[in-house]
Amino acid sequence: MYATGLICRECGTTYDAEARYACDVCFGPLEVHYDLEAAKGAVTRESIEAGPASIWRYRALLPDPGESPVDLGAGWTPLRHAPRLAAELGLADLWLKDDTRNPTGSFKDRVVSVALSVARRLGFTTAACASTGNLATSVAAHAAAIGWPSVTIIPFDLETSKVAMTAVFGGTVLGVRGNYDDVNRLCVELVAEHPDWAFANVNLRPYYAEGSKTLAFEIAEQLGWRTPDQVVVPVASGSQLTKVAKGFREFRALGLVDGPDPVLFGAQATGCSPIATAFANGSDVITPQRPDTIARSLAIGNPADGPYVLDELRRHGGDCGSVSDGEILEGISLLARTEGVFAETAGGVTIASLRQMVERGTIDRTKTTVAIISGHGLKTLDAVVDQATHTAVISPGLADAEEALRFTQLVAAS
Ligand X SMILES: Cc1ncc(COP(=O)(O)O)c(C=O)c1O
Q: Where are the alpha helices (DSSP H) in 194-324?
A: 205-210, 213-222, 239-253, 274-280, 306-315
Minimum distance of Zn ion from residue 9's CB (angstroms)? 8
Pick from Zn ion, ligand X, none: which does 72 bind, CB < 5 to 8 A by kind? Answer: none
The one-letter amino acid code at 195 reads P
346 binds, among Zn ion, ligand X, none (CB under 5 to 8 A by kind): ligand X
- Rounded CA separation 204/389 (Å): 42
CB nearer to ligand X: give 29 or 238: 238
Residues 6+ positions from 143 with CB-CB distance below 8 Å:
116, 126, 127, 149, 150, 169, 171
Residue 134 Cβ, how far from ligand X at the closest point, in Å? 4
**Residue 375 interacting entry, from ligand X, Zn ion, none, C-beta within 5 to 8 Å by type:** ligand X
What's phi and psi for 198, nearest 5 deg? Answer: -90, 95
> Could you say which of ligand X, Zn ion, none residue 157 binds, taking C-beta under 5 to 8 angstroms by partner kind?
none
Burial class (CB in 10 A: 0-12, 13-18, 19+), 1: middle
Task: From 291, 275, 262, 271, select the one nearest 371 (Cα to Cα).
Answer: 262
273 binds, among Zn ion, ligand X, none (CB under 5 to 8 A by kind): none
CB nearer ligand X, residue 69 or residue 375: 375
Q: What is the distance between the alpha carbons of residues 253 and 133, in angstroms, rounded to a whole number? A: 35
User: Minimal distance in Å, beta carbon 298 to ligand X?
Assistant: 6
Helix (H, G, I), strand (E, B) or coil at 144: helix
Q: Reduce the DSSP state of residue 140 to 3 states and report it.
A: helix
Q: CB of residue 344 vs ligand X: minimum separation in angstroms? A: 6
Shortest reach from residue 206's CB to ligand X, in Å: 13
Q: Which residues bind ligand X (CB under 6 A)?
A: 106, 108, 132, 134-135, 234-240, 297-298, 344, 346, 374-375
Report the partner that residue 238 touches, choosing among ligand X, Zn ion, none (CB closer than 5 to 8 A by kind).
ligand X
Residue 306 CB, shortest distance to Zn ion, in Å, is 18
Contact 341, 96 (CB under 8 A): yes
Give the span between the Cα atoms of 382 and 158, in whole angstroms: 10
By C-beta, is 22 or 223 nearer to Zn ion? 22
Residue 126 C-beta: closest distance to ligand X, Å? 21
In this complex, which beta carbon is closest to ligand X, that of residue 2 or of residue 214? 214
Using the minimum distance from each CB to ligand X, give the nearer residue, 79 or 256. Answer: 79
Task: Kindly state the smallest distance separating residue 237's Cβ from ligand X, in Å.
Answer: 3
Residue 328 DSSP label: H
Q: Kindly give, in sequence order, each residue whose CB lies less than 8 Å from that of residue 267, ignoring residues fewer than 6 positions away.
A: 232, 233, 234, 235, 320, 321, 323, 349, 350, 352, 353, 354
In the complex with Zn ion, which residue's Cβ is closer, 7 or 383?
A: 7
Residue 10 or 37 having the CB closest to Zn ion:
10
Cβ distance 41 to 27 under 8 Å?
A: no
Q: Which does 11 bind (CB under 5 to 8 A by kind): ligand X, Zn ion, none?
A: Zn ion
Q: Residues in the site for Zn ion, rule: CB under 5 A?
A: 8, 10-11, 13, 23, 25-26, 28
Minimum distance between the CB of residue 138 and ligand X, rounded to whole angstroms?
9
From the list ligand X, Zn ion, none, partner contacted by residue 117 (C-beta under 5 to 8 A by kind) = none
- 108 versus 213: smaller Cβ distance to ligand X: 108
CB nearer to Zn ion: give 12 or 260: 12
> How far apart are alpha carbons 96 and 154 in whole angstroms?
29
Q: From CA 115, how far away is CA 125, in angstroms rounded? A: 12
Chosen from ligand X, Zn ion, none, partner binding at 94 (C-beta under 5 to 8 Å by type): none
- Which of 109, 143, 117 is closest to 59 using CA atoms? 117
